[in-house]
Structure formats: C-alpha cells, structure tokens
Structure 1
Amino acid sequence: MTSHVDDRPVTIVTGGGRGIGRAIAERLAADGHDLLLTWRERLDEAEAVAEHCRAAGARVELLQLDLADLDRVADVVPEAVRRFGRVTGLVNNAGITGRIGPFLEGSIEESELVFRINVLAPMALCRAAIAHMATDLGGAGGSIVNISSGAATHGAPNTYIPYAASKAALNIMTTGLAKEFGPVGVRVNTVSPGTTRTEIHAAAGRPNAPDERAGNIPMRRPGEPHEIAGAVAYLLSDDASYTSGADILIAGGK
C-alpha cells in the first residue's frame, strides 16, 4: 500500500536558504512538497527556512553545495533520492550576476564563473534529474523549473551582459530539454524575474539597484520574492500538466 508520505512530491531547490529560493521553498512546503534545499553559506538562515517548512508539514533536508563544484553538483539528485526515495521536481534557482558595471570593466575569469554556476551547474542537475525521472529509463516523470531573468531578452547593457548571456543560454536549454524529454514525461519550463528585491544586487556591488530601477518599470516598483514563487509553484503543480517549454516573465510589465 502506498503511504501518504509516498504520495507527496519531492522537490530540490538550489539556493533555498534565502531570497527567491526561500520564498519558493516556503510556498512549495505550503503546497505539500517535501524538499531538499541546497545552501552555500549562512547555515543559520537555511535552518530557519527548513524549520518554517517543517512547521507547514514538509519533510526537509539541507545540503551544503557550491555550484561551482560540478562534481559535487552531479551528486545532488542521487543524494536526494537516497534521502527521500525519489525526486519529482527540480528548481534551478541559485545563481550569480557578477559585478554590475560596463562590459569592458569585467573579466573573462568572472564571466567563466558566471557561466559555470548559471549554466553548467543547472545543466548537470537537469541531466541527473531527467535520468531519474524519464519514463523510458524507469522513472515516473517529473517537472523542472529553471529560474532565468528578464535580462536574457534585453541583454543588460552597462550592467551585466555576461549574466544576461548566461540566462539566455539557460532559456534555450529549457526549450531543447522540453522538446527532447516531453515524450518521456518530463516537463521543463522557465520563470524569468525582472528586478526583484533580493540580496543578489548587494553581492553585485549595487544594493539599492531594485529601487533605482523602479522608475523604468511600468508598475513602478521591484518585484518581491513571493511573487516569483507563485509561478514556480504553478509550474510544478498538476494545473500545469500540459505546460512545457514555457517562459513566464514576471517583471512588472517591463
């Protein structure tokens, strides 16, 4: 007999300890998901998210992970399967922008790190997740959501062109995966936030960026993490059972 626990979706969320990742984790816990959350630093914040999600009834496991370590990244899905028995969903949320500034002031070394974390790590995670989920390989199907950016469509001139390019690469990977693996039960979609109030801007050297950009956004404000989380929850739900290869832009009309 299948237990109630066995019926619950099991979702991996990278960068689940703060910002958009935290909002996604808390929303999914409220929607009945069990979770494996990766974090890189600030364990206390990750543990606070885990406790909040457990209070909502979720089983939650934490896994420290540096996405630049691709060998370690490849072990995440097998580790989640070991802990939970299966994986039904993956949210590639964690990423970096690199320093905000003109293109010529950046370095190839920093751009290489941006692509390693924003493209190659999600690629490795998708490969492992699809190998587990695909029905032709013995899986039960599943859903992947890649967190991209509105910058992928406008290029982010004078701001972070390498970041925009990495997110454009993530978008086209989503398109290809959705087409290749739709026939074997794996849906792959993208959510593209516009300017959102998170710490990623401070890490890039411009903590006030969300409010500075508000005047150029039709809704005249930055987004909030929970507004991104709702779209992710939809794409992982049965309501999106016929949705694959989509990109939901959440950018206040921009």
Structure 2
Amino acid sequence: MSETTRNPVMIVTGGSKGIGAAISRAAGAAGYRVALTYKHDAEGAEAVGRDIERAGGKALVVKADVAVEADIVALFQAVDSAFGAPDVLVNNAGGVGRLGRVEAIEAAMLAELLAINVTGTFLCCREAVRRMSTRSGGRGGVIVNLSSLAATLGGAGEWVHYAATKGAIDSLTIGLAREVGAEGIRVVAVAPGLIETGLHAAAGAPDRLSRLGPGVPLGRAGKASEVAAAVMWLASPAAAYITAAIVPVGGGR
C-alpha cells in the first residue's frame, strides 16, 4: 500500500472505557488503525478492539500504565512494529483522584495524579514527536491532549488537584504546538466539561451528573461520543490550520 493510500494510525491512551473508548470506536469507523491502551480493564479494551475490527478498522490492544516510562516506550515500539509511526496521538488516559478540598490532599495521591496526567502525557508527546517530526524524517502528525474545563473553572471544593494537572496540560499543548509547528505537527487539546462517564462515581460522587447537569447552559451533561466527535474533527484535515488551541466541549459551562 502506498503512502498516499495507507490507512492512518491513531494511538489512544486509556481506550478501554468512557471518552477513550468512544474516540477509539470513532477512529475505527473512520478507517484508522487504532492502538488503544488499558491499565486494568483488559476485557473492556478487547471489546473496543473487536468493535473497531467490525467497523472495518484495525486494532492493537496494549496493556500500558502511562505513569511508567518503560510502558510508554514499549507502547510506541509495539505500534512501530504493528502499524508503523502514528499519525495521531490522543492523550486520553488520566485520573481524577478523590474529591476533596486542598487541605485534605495527601502528597502520595497528588504525586500519583501528576505522574498519570502530566508526566505520562508529556512522555507520550515526546515519543510521538520523535516519530512524527519532519525534522527527524517523519511525515508530521497531530497530537490531541485531553484537558478539562476544570483547568479554567478551578475545581474549587472538589478537585483543585485535578484542575491543576489539566492546567499543566493546557500549557504543554500551547508550548509544544509552537515548538513543533514548523515540523509538520499540530498540537491541540479538547477540554470536556460535565460528561456522562464513570469518572464521577470513581471519584466518589455518583450523583454529580444529576446534581450539576441541569445547571449547564445547554441543560444536560454531555456524551462521550460528543467529545470523540470534537477529537476526530481536530485530527482531520478539516482542522489543518488549527494548532495551540484548547477547544471546550462543555455545553457552555
């Protein structure tokens, strides 16, 4: 298959559930060869992989903890072997920690959250740039980071710790975009607001969607598929002149 007709390659970290699963399925339906990662949920990841294959795409399911540098390096090496260099990296894997005020935060939990949300995303970007950059002989590409509206809202009373990690992602997105823009790489972020996923229950607030949803200007929580649609557009040629941008998907919140 020639370079002009080859199916593009997308890596989606944390692709076994929620927003990551929706992005992976959307990519498969669009004809991507998708490498998706999971940390614990092998069954969920394999189910997403099967959906991708049924939709006509190709799937590679990789167990990887983005808080571990060796796992990130091994992920990209596995993609190199199976599909070749990625065209799109979606840094979706992340955590929120427990809900709580800043005065209740413990150093160990904060260190774990920073390792997943910030260091892991940074190192995935590093590996992608090494492969995508025209400066290194690559063909260019797109990096889409998952930020959050919490980065600008602040998360007061709930998760300032999580919001701070996503503020770091916003800075990474803008800085990296300006660093590698002339090397054929666009770097953008999507900032979801209140989205229907298991994240809220995992953080200890299973009623958060029903409690906050009516206060969103559009009157409801969003769907993972709506975030996926924004990611897919940003990764496409339709967004070819967009970089260093953080796109809110939050219903006006």
- Tell me if TM exceeds 0.5: yes
**Cα distance in 1 between the residues matched to 2:124 and 2:23:** 18
**Cα distance in 2 between the residues matched to 1:151 and 1:174:** 16
Amino acid at match of 1:2: S
Query: Pairwise CA RMSD of aligned residues?
Result: 1.3
Mapped pair 1:154 → 2:148: no
**Cα distance in 2 between the residues matched to 1:224 and 1:65:** 26
CA contact (8 A) 1:189 1:235 kept: yes
User: 75-84 or 234-243, which moves further after superposition?
Assistant: 75-84
- What are the ranges of 5 or more consecutive residues in structure 1 without an aligned counterpart? none
TM-score normalized by the length of structure 1:
0.96
CA contact (8 A) 1:35 1:60 kept: yes
Give the 5 Å matches for 1:1-254: 2=2, 7-254=6-253
**Percent identical:** 38
Amino acid at match of 1:116: A
CA contact (8 A) 1:131 1:137 kept: yes
Amino acid at match of 2:140: G
CA contact (8 A) 1:76 1:125 kept: no
- What are the ranges of 5 or more consecutive residues in structure 2 without an aligned counterpart? none
Flag as ranges the 4+ runs of structure 1 deviating above 6 A.
Answer: none
Amino acid at match of 2:89: L
Cα deviation for residue 3 of structure 1 reads: 7.3
**Cα distance in 2 between the residues matched to 1:81 and 1:234:** 25
Judged with a 3 Å threshold, the aligned counterparts in structure 2 of structure 1 residues 128 and 3 are, in CA distance, closer, same or farther, namely closer
Aligned residues: 253
1:130-174 deviation line (CA, Å, top 9, x unaligned): 010000100000000000100000110000001000000000000
**Cα distance in 1 between the residues matched to 2:73 and 2:159:** 28
**Cα distance in 2 between the residues matched to 1:43 and 1:151:** 29
Amino acid at match of 1:184: E
**Cα distance in 1 between the residues matched to 2:114 and 2:3:** 41
**Cα distance in 1 between the residues matched to 2:200 and 2:16:** 16
